[in-house]
Structure 1
Amino acid sequence: KVFLFASEVKAILASGLVERKIDTEALNQFLTFLWTPDPHTLFRNVSKLPPAHVLTLREGEITVREWWDVSFDGIEEGRSEEWWRERVLETLERVVSMEMVADVPLGSFLSGGIDSSVITALMKNHDAGRRISTYTIGVEAEDLRYDIIPDDVVWARQVGKLLDTDYHELTLKPDVAELLPQIVYHMDEPAIDMAIPSYLISREARKTLTVMLSGMGGDEVFAGYPRQLAMKIAGAFDPVPSLVRRPLMGAVANALPGGLPGRLTAPLRNAKKFARSAALDFEDRYLGFGTYFTNEAKQRLYSDELRERTRGLDPYCEHRRYFERVRNAAPLNRLLYVDLKTFLPCLNLTTTDKTSMAANLEVRVPFLNYELVELAARMPPGLKLRGMKRKYILKRAAEKLLPPGVVWRKKAGFGAPVRSWLRGALRPLVEDLLSEETIRRRGLFRPEEVRRIIDTNLSGREDYNLQVFQLLTFELWQRAFIDQK
């Protein structure tokens, strides 16, 4: 037996002791979520060590033990809202000051949203004698025609001016067809759309700094994602028996146009996804919000051989295991726990870490300090999601640092104009790398189904943009790591 370990899979593959083969179960999960949950990787016989775990190898036997976990058992109901507001602010002040301990100047990624703005404001308060360098990335107006990405640069400029930062702004206009293969190589796995702006802003920041603070983690700790609010709204349909709810919501979903590009049609795309997921029960509903290829869609996509090899596999097995751990917790806390164990480390943190390190930049995340995470776990869920207001208590705390217009504005996401890219710069690459000849040679997917997905997406009948993007980066990954091209 041979045991290999490394921080990157490239080192393991370089040993020549691991076959460059695709893990079937991980592939099935990757196509479901567009990323792979721990401990799985797309490489057969290669596993990831999950966060807060220690692996021990002794006399040829491997044991894996979890040494820390967040608990939602000790909810403190008797505290006032003002008490929690003060605790959140003082804990944030403490953890940001801890993260700022360094031998070099630090900067901040600034989107203009609540998380990054709070971090930047606290950095300024901690280091009052120095202007904080902030870095912002925006999207060209031409690319915004197709996507729902808000133009957050306006807000970032406002916060930068308010806090008197050394403000740097980058407009996203890469040669994406040339850059994408490089990103996939740095990621060791197929890249998601946000990997490109993450790498570019990290590369820009590295010109002057070596350490940056990020607002990542605020959504998972304080309930900031739209899907968490959507789960609350969808709960209104729970009294309707599932035998009625499923066909009713299914009919609503089928009646809505799902793929027409453009910002004005974004609510229709979101409503379609909401209707599909609202038809399901609690756990499946939440998993549905993060599902891109359903089991039925994968059956249409898979070749006969892959369909047989994946028979009986449950892509949600890791998520269900985490749901079971917190089965007695409040519904919102169950969702937060699953995200903290899956979506956050396996997608967001992995992407940020690998793209920033590719630029030789260190990124620190104060919102994920264990003191703050444990504090948020003890507070009543209604302080995190109050009515329709997400991250409620964080925003109340932020009122002491920032003006109301910044604190209470509509949330924006961090992404890339993938819809525009697939209709422009990436279209030739899609036609080349996802050609019938290539798909048939791989033997994993049915060429006619891949073609249908591409054409249906371009026509606007369905929104398959992220699915097409991931099929594209999966082929790039196979060329880099399986074929070694």
Structure 2
Amino acid sequence: MPGIAGIISGQPDEKNVGHLKDMIRCMVHEPFYTSGTYINPYLGVYAGWTCLKGSFADCMPVFNETRDLVLIFSGENFIDNDRIHYLKRKGHAFENSDASYLIHLYEEEGDRFYKLLNGFFRGMIVDLRNREIVVFTDRYGMGRVYYHDEGDQFLFSTEAKSLLSIRPELREISPKSLGEYFTCGCVLQDRTLFSNVFVLPGGSAWSFQNGKELKKDSYFEPDTLENQPVLEKETFYEGLREALHDVIPRYFRPDGRIAMSLTGGLDTRIVLAYGNNRPGELPCYTFGSVYRDSFDVCRAREIAKMFNQQHIVLPVGKEFLSDFPAYAERTIYISDGCLDIIGSPELYINQIAREIAPIRMTGNYGSEVLRNVRTFKAVSPLEKIFHPDFLRDIDDAFENFRSIGREHELTFTLFRQTPWYGYGRLAMEQSQLTVRTPFLDNDLVALAYRAPPGIAGTDEFALRLIADGNPALRRIRTDRGIGGNSNYLSSIFSRSYHEFLFKSEYYYNYGMPQWLAKIDYAFRPLQLERWFLGRHKFHHFRVWLRDELSEFVREILLDKRTTSRPFLNKDFLEEMVNSHIRGHGNYTVEINKILSAEMIHRLFIERK
């Protein structure tokens, strides 16, 4: 995926050049990537990058006028035009549409530069005057950087596989991390699945001099936001509305073709309501099911028509399933195991979406910022599937998660849930196109911390914002039956009806009870999935793993390599697989996790 990689070494070594090339080679996943290197053996820096052709960062490396400052940057930055004009007035020459201005911003602002950045990114500054190197990440850590510190060498990369490719001794799974993976869906606290590979914390600016670590600085801490005074309700709302007017247009800057990933929910409506897009300039698409037009598709089509924009449905069906093993393997490989195989439709759909436009505008993280929605939980896995000795790591994962969950609610959601639990999906999306969302903008998040009590978990402000931005949008109900102009009783009925269908689909898919799975299988000739599925979700893995993907499941999970894993209970694993495929039970969640863990072992530990 687009990113950076490098070796910082106290001793010049020709081997580092070859190792760097190997690291970069691991990160080039598509023919539309560009890549390059910057090598300065006198400073002990061997660095490289990959990026999407024509993207914001497709201009690396960038230098200041005297060429004694160098920047390698991956990601995007959304800065006020006033600051760009300020740099022009200072006499700096650069392209407004790419990242070339950033080195001049650093030259003018020094260490304050990092706090001024606004977006998902990672980068490296090489200061030839002071013989200093700084590796930095965005404040959330969404621009992930993996690292391995050997004392005399510091290895870093956007992709963990880059480090494994040149240090085979790092190919070792941490039992502690694996316990968290099964329990929490991700690894916690800036650790990784690999025992001696770690992640730079969000807001890091780590400096090196003469090839050795100098300081592990942090330019941002969430408590600077937590300590702000709370605003009165209407003052907060007015501030939020004004912020959206200022913030959202930044993300529609004219530096490439943009398409809107449009849903039937509230957050993409807010983006459209304040985006000021002209008719016909913003194609929209919605992910769809093979069974029917979902509520997402129906509402999004209506919204796109209102704005006179093209609307396209991107279904996930037979074409995806026919090549599922390849999509599953690439999903695990590209995301370094951070996204499981049930996330593989993201790869398939974003490949198609890139053909529409290379930039995908989303409403991602809107519910987290505006309504503090928390989806990150520790869930007890089925104990029978594991060896008794491994259950200690499962218990430790629960305890660790509980201790983290005591933080400030919004801090937990934005600075733990988002970069830990949500990173895998973003990594997969970014491997195919540039993904944007205005909802983690610095200004908007700072304001969200000042929300008065009682706002979290409600739709009140979101509906008001939509109505103020575009009253017609408020009149269209969401995919969950929220909104519209009906009377109170009609609104209650609509919401209850949509909620019933939402839960019915869940219980027919991932959440089907074991006893009901047998009844459903007995009525298989009636194809009941056509009655229950597709109204809210576009992928249906309980049925797919039982039917279309059953041979793939058997081939991987009943293979001797899988059944001999020391953390698994071989006998129950075989019983579980056969039960699900024969329709005697529902083990969708368990099969997904075990399949994903097995592919992680095969791709990263055993593959040479």
Q: Does TM, normalized by the shorter one, top 0.5?
A: yes
Q: Taking structure 1 as reference, are residues 52 and 349 closer, same or farther at Cα in structure 2, changes over 3 Å only?
A: same
CA contact under 8 A between 1:137 and 1:169: conserved in structure 2? Answer: yes
Instruction: Give the secondary structure class of the aligned counterpart of 1:367.
Output: coil
Q: Separation in 1 of the partners of 2:418 and 2:181?
A: 15
Which residue in the other structure is 1:377 paired with? 449
Which residue in the other structure is 1:406 paired with? 477
Q: Separation in 2 of the partners of 1:77 and 1:181?
A: 48
CA contact under 8 A between 1:136 and 1:201: conserved in structure 2? Answer: no
For residues 106-139 of structure 1, the C-alpha deviation after alignment (integer angstroms, 9 at most, x for no partner) is: 221111211122213333x1x3365211121101
For residues 307-350 of structure 1, the C-alpha deviation after alignment (integer angstroms, 9 at most, x for no partner) is: 56x38734442552352x43xxxxxxx2x332222222223243
Larger helix proportion of the pair: 1
Are 2:173 and 1:22 aligned? yes
Q: Separation in 2 of the partners of 1:152 and 1:305?
A: 45
For residues 354-405 of structure 1, the C-alpha deviation after alignment (integer angstroms, 9 at most, x for no partner) is: 222322x1101211112111212101131233xxxx3321222112221333
Are 2:282 and 1:132 aligned? yes
Residues 112-151 of structure 1 correspond to what in structure 2 (within 5 A)? 112-123=264-275, 125=276, 127-128=277-278, 130-141=280-291, 151=295
Which residue in the other structure is 2:542 paired with? 419
Instruction: Give the secondary structure class of the aligned counterpart of 2:331.
Output: helix
Q: Separation in 2 of the partners of 1:163 and 1:193?
A: 36
Which residue in the other structure is 2:121 paired with? none
Q: Taking structure 1 as reference, are residues 155 and 212 closer, same or farther at Cα in structure 2, changes over 3 Å only?
A: same
Are 2:309 and 1:165 aligned? yes
Residue 452 (structure 1) shift: 4.4
Instruction: Give the secondary structure class of the aligned counterpart of 2:351.
Output: helix
Which residue in the other structure is 2:340 paired with? 192
Residue 17 (structure 1) shift: 5.4
Tell me which structure has the larger Cα radius of gyration: 2
Residue 18 (structure 1) shift: 4.1
Q: Taking structure 1 as reference, are residues 414 and 381 closer, same or farther at Cα in structure 2, changes over 3 Å only?
A: farther
Larger strand proportion of the pair: 2
The partner residue of 1:337 within 411, 417, 438 is 411
Q: Taking structure 1 as reference, are residues 188 and 414 closer, same or farther at Cα in structure 2, changes over 3 Å only?
A: farther
For residues 404-440 of structure 1, the C-alpha deviation after alignment (integer angstroms, 9 at most, x for no partner) is: 3335256877763222221222222221211162333
Which residue in the other structure is 1:110 paired with? 262
Q: Taking structure 1 as reference, are residues 152 and 371 closer, same or farther at Cα in structure 2, changes over 3 Å only?
A: same
Q: Separation in 2 of the partners of 1:428 and 1:442?
A: 20
CA contact under 8 A between 2:331 and 2:340: conserved in structure 1? Answer: no
Are 2:379 and 1:292 aligned? yes
Are 2:329 and 1:181 aligned? yes
- Counting matched residue pairs gives 395
The partner residue of 2:403 within 310, 320, 326 is 320
Residue 98 (structure 1) shift: 1.2
Are 2:560 and 1:437 aligned? yes
Greater displacement, 211-220 / 403-412: 403-412
CA contact under 8 A between 1:384 and 1:393: conserved in structure 2? Answer: no
Instruction: Give the secondary structure class of the aligned counterpart of 2:312.
Output: strand
Residues 59-70 of structure 1 correspond to what in structure 2 (within 5 A)? 59-60=212-213, 63=216, 65=218, 67-69=220-222
Instruction: Give the secondary structure class of the aligned counterpart of 1:41.
Output: coil
Residue type of the alignment partner of 1:403: R
Residue type of the alignment partner of 2:327: L
Residues 343-362 of structure 1 correspond to what in structure 2 (within 5 A)? 343-352=417-426, 354-359=427-432, 361-362=433-434
Q: Taking structure 1 as reference, are residues 380 and 187 closer, same or farther at Cα in structure 2, changes over 3 Å only?
A: same
Answer 1 or 2: higher relative contact order, Cα 8 Å, separation at least 6: 1
Q: Taking structure 1 as reference, are residues 46 and 64 closer, same or farther at Cα in structure 2, changes over 3 Å only?
A: farther
Residue type of the alignment partner of 1:101: R
The partner residue of 1:222 within 365, 370, 387 is 370
Q: Taking structure 1 as reference, are residues 130 and 164 closer, same or farther at Cα in structure 2, changes over 3 Å only?
A: closer
For residues 453-476 of structure 1, the C-alpha deviation after alignment (integer angstroms, 9 at most, x for no partner) is: 445656888754222212112112
Q: Taking structure 1 as reference, are residues 458 and 338 closer, same or farther at Cα in structure 2, changes over 3 Å only?
A: farther
The partner residue of 1:94 within 219, 243, 246 is 246
Q: Separation in 1 of the partners of 2:565 and 2:463?
A: 50
The percentage of aligned residue pairs carrying the same residue is 21
For residues 261-299 of structure 1, the C-alpha deviation after alignment (integer angstroms, 9 at most, x for no partner) is: xxxxxxxxxxxxxxxxxxxxxxxxxx7xx23334xx44x
Instruction: Give the secondary structure class of the aligned counterpart of 2:435.
Output: strand
CA contact under 8 A between 1:211 and 1:362: conserved in structure 2? Answer: yes
Residue 477 (structure 1) shift: 1.8
Unaligned runs of 5+ in 2: 1-149, 484-494, 503-535
Greater displacement, 131-140 / 16-25: 16-25
Instruction: Give the secondary structure class of the aligned counterpart of 1:383.
Output: coil
The partner residue of 1:475 within 598, 603, 607 is 598
Q: Taking structure 1 as reference, are residues 190 and 86 closer, same or farther at Cα in structure 2, changes over 3 Å only?
A: closer
Residue 216 (structure 1) shift: 0.6
Which residue in the other structure is 1:278 paired with? none
Q: Taking structure 1 as reference, are residues 95 and 28 closer, same or farther at Cα in structure 2, changes over 3 Å only?
A: same
Residue type of the alignment partner of 1:119: V
Task: Tell me how large the CA RMSD over aligned residues is.
Answer: 3.0
Q: Taking structure 1 as reference, are residues 426 and 35 closer, same or farther at Cα in structure 2, changes over 3 Å only?
A: farther
Instruction: Give the secondary structure class of the aligned counterpart of 1:480.
Output: helix
